[in-house]
Amino acid sequence: MCQMACGMLIHLEDGTPVKVEGDPDHPVNRGVLCVKGEAALQLLYHPDRLKHPLKRVGTRGEGKWKEVTWDEALDTVAAELTRVKNEYGVEATAFVRGAAKGMQEDYMTRFANLFGSPNISSMAHVCFVPRSHASTITYGYFARPDYEYPPSCLILWGISPFDSRIGEYRQISEAIDRGTKLIVIDPRKHKLTDRAEMWLRLRPGSDLALALGMMNVIVNEELYNKDFVDKWTVGFNELKSHVQSYPPEKIADITWVPAESIRAAARFYATKKPACIQCGNGLDQGINSFQNARASDILRAITANLGAPGGELKWSPLTILARHAPQISMVDKISPEQRNKRVSAKDNLLPIVFYALPQTIGRAILHGDPYPIRAIYVQGGNPLLTFSNSQEVYKALNKLEFLAVADLFMTPTAALADVVLPVASFLECDGILAPPYYQIASIQQKVAQVGESRSDYDILKGLAKRVGLGEYFWDDITQILNAIVAPAGINFEEFRKIAVMVGPKLYRHYEKEGFKTPSGKVELYSSRLKEWGFDPLPAYYENPETPYSAPEIAKEYPMIFTSWKRQCYRHTDDRQLATLRGLHPEPTVHIHPDTAKSLAITDGDWVYVETQRGKIRLRAAIDPYMDSRVVGVDYGWWFPERGSTDLYGWAESNINILTNDKPPFNREMGSPVMRGICCKVYKAD
C-alpha cells in the first residue's frame, strides 16, 4: 500500500487472512498502524478488485472490455511493445510507475533497461528524490534523524508525519514527551502544530527564502559552530557573502512570516543542541525543489548537527543489495548513448538524473519533441490524476498507439488502456521492502490469492519471455529475492525467520572517513554544481503564477492554493475502501472564514477553484487556521463509484487540472510547480 514497510501481523483462519494488527516488535511502527494499514483486508477482498486480464473492445475510454487469458494479454502487450520498437525504435516506448511501493519498481526498471527503452518515468522529480540527490551532493548521503536520543529541537518542514509516516509520528510524539521542542514550518495546521513552540505559517512555495533568511541570522549572529565549519566544510565564506542578500525583513515580505519570527526560529534551532530538520514532500514541488533541500542540508552542517547524537545521522548500509543496485536494475545493459536518447536529455537536468520527465513525455506524444512516444506501460500509477496539467495528459494518453496498465483496480488511467493487467496486493506476493526513510529491510510474505492476480514480478517475467529476455528473469520470485539477501550470507527462506534487518547508526562517522564528496567535507558551496552549470549556493527564485511573479494574473486570480496529504488516502489510492472513504467522503477546499464570508461561501457549500487552465469542484471547509490569502485543496480525487464511461469523474475535482506542465521547472530535477499558484474561488452553480 506504500513504501514505509510498517510491521504487520496477519491472523489466519484455515489459511485465510481474517485480521491485521501492527507488529509491536517492528522497528518502524512498533505496533501502530495507520488507517490505511488497518484497512488492508478491505483492499485484499474488495469486490471491485481486478481479478482477470482485460482487453479493450470498444473505443478508448468507452468502458467496454472482455476478459482474456493471461497468455492472450501478455502476448498482446509484448507484441505491441515489440512492434513499436521495430517500427519506430525502442525509444518510442516508455515505462511509467506511480508512487514508491517497493522492489516491484526495480523489476520494471530491470525490464525497461533490458528492453532498451531510455524512457523510464515516475514521480521521483516531485517526491523525495530532490532531497536525496541534494544530500548526496552536499555531504554524500541521506541523513536521518536520531529521535531516540532525543533531539533538543526538531523542525518539521513541509511534512505531517501523522498523515504520511505513522511510525515516525509516534517516535516524534515520544521525543516531545521527553523534552524535544518543536518548530513547525507549514502553510497549514496539522496534528503536531498544537505541540509546537513555534508555527511559521509561510506562503506556499517560499520555503527556500525562509531557509536563506534563517541562515542569514545564524551566520551574522555567529550562531554557527565555528569548529565544525572550519574543519569539515568548504565554501563558508562564499555562503556568508551570499546570505547577506536575504535579511529577515526582505524574507518577511516574500514568505509572509514576520521578521522577528524568522530570527526567533533561527536562534532557537541554532542554540538548542542537538537539533534535527525533518523535511517532507512540501519542499519537493516547484522551481526551488532541489535547492530547498540543499538549504536544509546547509543548515544541518553549519550548526554541527550532522552525525551528532540526537542530530541527523548516516546509518550503516545493509548487507544486502540496495534498491536500484545494478544487479537488480540492469542499468549496465543499456548503453550511455541509448540512455542519452531519453526524451528529457534536452531538459539539461543534473547529470546524475536519468529519468524521463512526465511533462516531457507528454510533449513527445503530442508534439513529437524530440520524437514521438507511441506506447507506454504503466505499473501501479495513475498519471491522468498525478501528472501536472491533466487536460494535456488526457490528450496525450488518447493519442498513444498502445497503452497497458497493471493495477489492483480500474482507475481513470486504466480506463484509457488497451490492456489492463490485474496485480497482486502486498498480501499476495513475497518480497523485501527497503523504505527510503529508514535504513532497514523488512520481510513481505504471501498469505492470500485473489482471482488471477499476479505480482508485478510475474507479469514482467511473462513479458520478458515473450520479447526474448527470459534469461534475465528467474522462474520463481524467490530466486531474485535470494540474490538480494545473498550478500548477508542468507537466503530468502532464512530471511523469513529474521524478518527485519536494521543498519546501525554511525555517530560522527566523518571523523574516521570524512564525507563522501570530492573535497571530503560538507560542500556548502558546490564546485560540482558550478561546473555543471547550476547554482553552487541555493538562490531563491519566485515560482511562476504567484502574486509576485505575475501580478497581472493575480488581479484575476487573487488567491493561491496549496495541497497536502490525508492519512486515509495515499495519493489517488483507496477511495474504494468504505472505511477510508467514510473518514473523508468528499473532496474539500479549506478556506479562511473571512475569505469565505467575502465570497458568500458557507461551510459545506460546493465551490469552484479555478486557474488559467481550468476549474475543479470541491466542498468548502471553513478553516480559521488558513491564511486568508491561501486555500488548501485536496489532491488525488476521482470517484470509483461513477463507472468507467465517465472515466470515474477524473476531471471534476482533480487538482492537476489547475497545475501547469510548461516551463519553468526546477533546473536540477525538472520539478513542476504544483503548489503556491494563483487561483480564484467562487460558489458553484
Question: Do residues 16 and 149 make contact, with C-beta atoms less than 8 angstroms apart?
Answer: no
Q: Count other C-beta atoms under 10 Å from residue 555's C-beta.
A: 10
Helix (H) or strand (E) holding 33: none
Same domain, 117 and 160: no
Secondary structure (H, E, C), 66-112:
EECCHHHHHHHHHHHHHHHHHHHCHHHEEEEECCCCCCHHHHHHHHH
3-class DSSP state of 233: strand
> Distance (Å, rounded) from C-alpha 354 to C-alpha 136?
16
Same domain for 560 and 581, yes or no, is: yes
Beta carbons of 95 and 84 less than 8 angstroms apart = no
CA–CA distance from 319 to each of 11, 104, 331, 512, 564 (Å)?
A: 31, 20, 21, 20, 36
Report yes or no on 2 lying in a domain: no
266 and 405 housed in the same domain: no
| SS3 per-residue string spanning 169-209 | HHHHHHHHHCCCEEEEECCCCCCCHHHCCEEECCCCCCHHH
pLDDT grade for 429, boundaries at 50, 70 and 90: very high
The torsion of the CA quartet 220, 222, 223, 227, rounded to 10 degrees, works out to 140
Asked if residue 338 lies in contact with residue 504, where contact means CB atoms within 8 angstroms, the answer is: no
The Cα 192–Cα 181 span in angstroms is 11
In a domain, 227, yes or no: yes
Tell me how far apart the alpha carbons of residues 347 and 119 are, in angstroms, rounded to a whole number.
13
Instruction: Check which CATH number belongs to the domain holding 472 and give it.
Output: 3.40.50.740
Q: What is the pLDDT of residues 344-403, one digit of tens each?
A: 999 999 999 999 999 999 999 999 999 999 999 999 999 999 999 999 999 999 999 999
- Pick the closest to residue 490 from 508, 475, 478 (CA basis): 478
3 state SS for 126-150: HCCHHHHHHHHHHHCCCCEECCCCC
Amino acid at 344: S
Q: What is the DSSP letter of 283?
A: G
Q: How far is CA 185 from the centre of its chain?
A: 19
pLDDT the model gives residue 324: 86
C-beta of residue 349 within 8 angstroms of C-beta of residue 669: yes
In a domain, 106, yes or no: yes
637 grid coordinates? 480525487
Say if residue 581 is in the same domain as residue 652. Answer: yes
What are 196-229's pLDDT values in tens digits? Answer: 999 999 999 999 999 999 999 999 999 999 999 9
Nearest partner of 38 among 430, 567, 639, judged by Cα? 567
* Whole-number pLDDT of residue 101: 87
Sign of the alpha-carbon torsion through 191, 602, 655, 103: positive
Give the percent of the chain with pLDDT over 90: 97
Report the pLDDT value the prediction gives residue 644, as an integer from 0 to 100: 87
On whether the CB atoms of residues 534 and 653 are closer than 8 A, the answer is: no
Q: The CATH number of the domain where 157 resides is what?
A: 3.40.228.10
Q: Give the Cα separation of 394 and 416 in Å (integer).
A: 9
CB 209 within 8 A of CB 254: yes
Residue 407, φ and ψ in degrees, nearest 5: -160, 170
User: Are residues 92 and 202 both part of a single domain?
Assistant: no
Characterize the bridge pairing of strands 93-97 and 65-67: unpaired
Residue 436 has a pLDDT of 87
- Residue finishing a domain among 440, 470, 502: 502
384, 260: one domain: no
Number of domains in the chain: 3
Residue of 373, 416, 399, 421 lying closest to 650 (CA atoms): 416
Q: Give one DSSP letter per residue of 321-365, joined into a string.
A: PPTT-HHHH-GGGS-HHHHTTSTTGGG---TT--PPPHHHHHHHH
Residue 516 within any structural domain of the chain: no
Assess whether 364 and 247 both reside in one domain.
no
Cell 473523508 belongs to which residue?
584
In a domain, 542, yes or no: no
- CATH (domain of 568): 2.40.40.20
Three-state DSSP at 124 gives helix
Flag whether 510 is in a domain. no
Co-location of 257 and 396 in the same domain: no
Determine contact, residues 146/311, Cβ cutoff 8 Å: yes
Measured between alpha carbons, how far is 182 from 172 in angstroms, rounded to an integer? 9
475 sits in which H/E element: none
- 527-553: per-residue pLDDT in tens? 999 999 999 999 999 999 999 999 999
| Range 19-26 average pLDDT | 97
Both 484 and 589 in one domain: the answer is: no
The answer on 344 and 455 residing in a single domain is: yes
CA distance 548 to 251: 13
Which of helix, strand or coil describes residue 59?
coil
| Count, residues in the chain | 685
Taking the CA atoms of residue 463, residue 468, residue 470 and residue 471 in that order, the dihedral angle to the nearest 10 degrees is: -160
Is there a cis peptide before residue 370, judged by omega within 30 degrees of 0? yes
For residues 166 and 34, give the distance between their C-alpha atoms in angstroms, rounded to a whole number. 6
Of 310, 328, 351, the residue that ends a domain is 310
Q: Does the pLDDT of residue 594 top 90, yes or no?
A: yes
**135 and 296 Cβ atoms separated by less than 8 Å:** no
pLDDT of residue 105: 93
Regarding whether 169 and 113 lie in a shared domain, the answer is no
Produce one character per residue of 176-191: b if its CB has 16 or more CB atoms within 10 Å, e if not. Answer: beeebbbbbbbbbbbe
Residue 187 belongs to domain spanning: 147-310
Cis peptide leading into 624, omega within 30 of 0?
no
**How open is the CA angle 591-595-596, to the nearest 5 degrees?**
65
The answer, yes or no, to whether the previous bond of 317 is cis (omega within 30 of 0) is no
Q: Are residues 111 and 168 in the same domain?
A: no
SS (H, E, C) 291-305: HHHHHHHHHHHHCCC
Q: What angle do CA 672, 677, 683 make, to 5 degrees?
A: 135
Q: What is the per-residue pLDDT for 189? A: 96
0.95 exceeded by the pTM? yes
Distance between CA atoms of 474 and 243, rounded to whole angstroms?
54
Mean pLDDT is lowest, of 38-42, 55-59, 101-105, 186-190, for 101-105
Q: Is residue 37 part of a domain?
A: no
Question: Quick check: 149 pLDDT over 90?
Answer: yes
Give the domain-ending residue among 310, 328, 357: 310
pLDDT one-digit tens code per residue, 274-316: 999 999 999 999 999 999 999 999 999 999 999 999 999 999 9
514 part of a folded domain: no
> Mean of the per-residue pLDDT values for the chain?
97
